Amino acid sequence: MLGKSSQTSRHSKVEPPADRGSAPETILFIHGLGYDRHIWDGVIERLGENYYPVSYDLPGHGERGDRDVTLTWDLLCQDLLAVIESTGSRCCHLVGHEFGAVLAMKAAFRFPERVRSLTLISAQLYFPKDLFLFDFSGRLELIEADRETFIEDMIPRQIYTPDEKNRAIIEGGLRRVASKAYRSGIELVFKEETAMIKALPHLKMPVLFVGGDRSPVLPPHLIALFAAAVPKSGLQIIPNAASAVFLDQPELFTAALTEFYRTHDSFQYSKTREFLMEKVRTALEEVYWATIATPSLEVRVIGDFSVRWNKRPVVGNWDRRLAKELLAFLTLTPTVSREHLIDVFFPDASLKNAKNYLRVMISHLKTIFEDHDPALRGVLQVTRSTVHLNCEVQCDLKDFLSNLKQGFGEERPLLERKANLINLLFIYKRGLMDGFRAPWVFDLLKKIEDTLANTLVDLVRELEAAGLYDEAIQLLKIAQPVEVYDGYCDEKIAELREKKQDRQRDAFTPNL
């Protein structure tokens, strides 16, 4: 059977077909928390010769030897990327069930160039804290104290018609999963809370949402709401199926999956459909922010500047009295002393003048907030010594800086780090804090440019050492705005092209 995998301590290794042309499309199946790769056996058996299916066990599951593992998104994504690498495929379709669907989404954002499409089955993407208390905390107690009762409780959630074969598949996974892996996986998703819902509109690849009409946990209309938030999405509700639709209805699921793969690249949505879906997404956002979301301030300083409170624009004279510069600084440092604000905004002014400038600047920002919405009156809290943003804050600059700081660790695969730098360069080119005029902004931009330039040099050196000349050249073509000196990128591209030609010449020169 194609895609049959053997386990190691790190990840599943698979043997790609000898003739890749006979199976051009790789499908990687990701099981849910507590199960194992055998949950996909029935689907893999039904796929035709046009696909190369791969299933694997998550850490702490199935036949993996890592029984004491604590799951993290870094570990899981690196593990998944290693499986993709082992297939020999440049990119693949990801199919995820429950927790596996969340992992598939995480992977799609971390290395989008390796993901051709997503199929998210029974994907629970909203994790309020009270849901943990209502349901999941009991699961964690049962899995350690009474696994037999835990298994009996989980089976009807997964399969609507529990025949002996499907029951054995579910039982097998639940008996083998390490308690520590299961617990840490539950803790992982509940840290996300609303993050996965917020991420849905940013998925750029085709996404198929699948659910069962008999699911006792995730109703079809909730899955439809998730699907409506994604630009390129499809929806398939499988009849007479619970969460594991591929066990209850393997023929219907496989047919839906292959039809999705056959049509998602060629199907053209009408302008009317796109218009209606955008209206639906907007309406859903308004309902979401009005009901379940934590009130938050969203500040955008990359590209066009904007401020939103609970997704609604905050209109004001942001170009006066350093209002946008002050707000941007507070998104990075929510609580700051007045003395520090004077240092970063008015370093050359006398102390008396600087204090007056600061008072006017803070007062203007408070006026913008209070004129927009009475609820914003308590957001900017000012005392005799400090200024504080008292709300949840989202800022694209903060996300950019976090990615710049954490996205290039040596533990990350080289090509993942290269993709991350390309993503940051594209963001940088859109305009980083254009029109901002405070001294701290100029200092920050210089640090960002230096970091991007140094990261470029390091990655190009690593790519060159690995013989990945084309990858290095692609990166250099994009990175000219931050090159370490004028002409560096052109010089390095010419050097790498010459080295590539020399290697090709050596490869075709016969030994005499």
Write the single-letter amino acid at 33: L
Kindly report the number of other CB atoms within 10 A of residue 56's CB atom: 27
Residues 357 and 252 in one domain: no
**C-alpha distances in Å from residue 486, one per residue of 470, 479, 490, 499:** 22, 11, 9, 22
Of 395, 425, 458, the one marking the end of a domain is 395
How far from each other are the two terminal CA atoms of the chain, in whole angstroms? 45
Residues 244 and 364 in one domain: no
Tokens 């053209």 belong to: 268
CATH number at residue 443: 1.25.40
Give the strand order in the sheet containing 335-337. Answer: 335-337, 386-389, 380-382
The answer to the question of residue 282 being in a domain is: no
Residues 304 and 441 in one domain: no
Rg (CA), the chain: 26
Domain range for residue 438? 407-508
For 59-147, where are the E strands, in sequence order?
92-97, 115-121
Residue 18's pLDDT is: 47
Calpha distance 225→235 (Å, rounded): 10
The answer to the question of residue 402 being in a domain is: no
- DSSP class of residue 429? H
Residues 34 and 139 in one domain: yes
Residues 307 and 266 in one domain: no
Q: How many domains does the chain have?
A: 3
Calpha distance 200→228 (Å, rounded): 9
Asked if 445 and 432 count as a contact pair (C-beta separation under 8 A), the reply is: yes
Residues 262 and 129 in one domain: yes
The answer to the question of residue 276 being in a domain is: no
Question: Among 133, 136, 123, 287, which Cα is nearest to 218's?
Answer: 123
Kindly report the number of other CB atoms within 10 A of residue 352's CB atom: 8
Of 395, 422, 448, the one marking the end of a domain is 395
The answer to the question of residue 179 being in a domain is: yes
The answer to the question of residue 1 being in a domain is: no
Kindly report the number of other CB atoms within 10 A of residue 271's CB atom: 7
**Residues pairing with 120 in the sheet:** 96, 209
Calpha distance 334→355 (Å, rounded): 20
Question: Among 228, 378, 243, which Cα is nearest to 288's?
Answer: 228
The answer to the question of residue 278 being in a domain is: no
- DSSP class of residue 135? I
Question: Among 18, 120, 113, 10, which Cα is nearest to 57's?
Answer: 10
What is the per-residue pLDDT across 417-458, written as a single tens digit (0 to 9) for each?
888 898 899 888 878 999 999 999 999 999 999 999 999 999
Of 336, 366, 395, the one marking the end of a domain is 395
Q: What is the pLDDT along the chain (512 residues), one digit of tens a residue?
A: 334 443 333 334 344 444 444 557 899 999 999 999 999 999 999 997 789 999 999 999 999 978 889 999 999 999 999 999 999 998 999 999 999 999 999 999 999 999 999 999 999 998 877 677 667 777 888 888 888 988 988 999 999 987 899 999 999 999 999 999 999 999 999 888 778 888 898 898 999 999 999 998 888 888 988 998 888 899 999 999 999 999 999 999 999 999 999 887 766 667 776 777 777 767 766 665 555 556 789 999 998 899 998 778 999 999 999 999 999 999 999 899 999 999 999 999 999 999 999 999 999 999 999 888 777 878 899 999 999 998 889 899 998 999 899 889 888 889 888 888 988 998 888 789 999 999 999 999 999 999 999 999 999 999 999 999 998 998 999 899 999 999 999 999 999 999 988 888 876 655 55
Question: Among 402, 395, 446, 447, which Cα is nearest to 424's?
Answer: 402
Q: Which two tokens stand for residue 105?
A: 């989404």
Calpha distance 468→490 (Å, rounded): 17
Residues 225 and 338 in one domain: no
Residues 160 and 66 in one domain: yes
Residue 350, phi then psi, degrees to nearest 5: -65, 155
For 285-391, where are the E strands, in sequence order?
296-300, 306-309, 312-313, 335-337, 380-382, 386-389
- DSSP class of residue 134? I
Calpha distance 182→35 (Å, rounded): 10
Q: Which two tokens stand for residue 126?
A: 């909203």
**C-alpha distances in Å from residue 301, one per residue of 101, 285, 323, 494:** 31, 21, 13, 36
Q: What percent of the chain has pLDDT over 90?
A: 59
Calpha distance 333→339 (Å, rounded): 14
Residues 111 and 196 in one domain: yes
Residues 416 and 502 in one domain: yes
The answer to the question of residue 227 being in a domain is: yes
Coil, helix or strand at residue 453: helix
Question: Among 159, 171, 173, which Cα is nearest to 64's?
Answer: 173
Tokens 């593992």 belong to: 69
CATH number at residue 300: 1.10.10.10
How is 340-366 classified by DSSP, letter by letter? HHHHHH-TTS-HHHHHHHHHHHHHHHH
Residues 45 and 130 in one domain: yes
Residues 370 and 469 in one domain: no
The answer to the question of residue 499 being in a domain is: yes
CATH number at residue 12: 3.40.50.1820
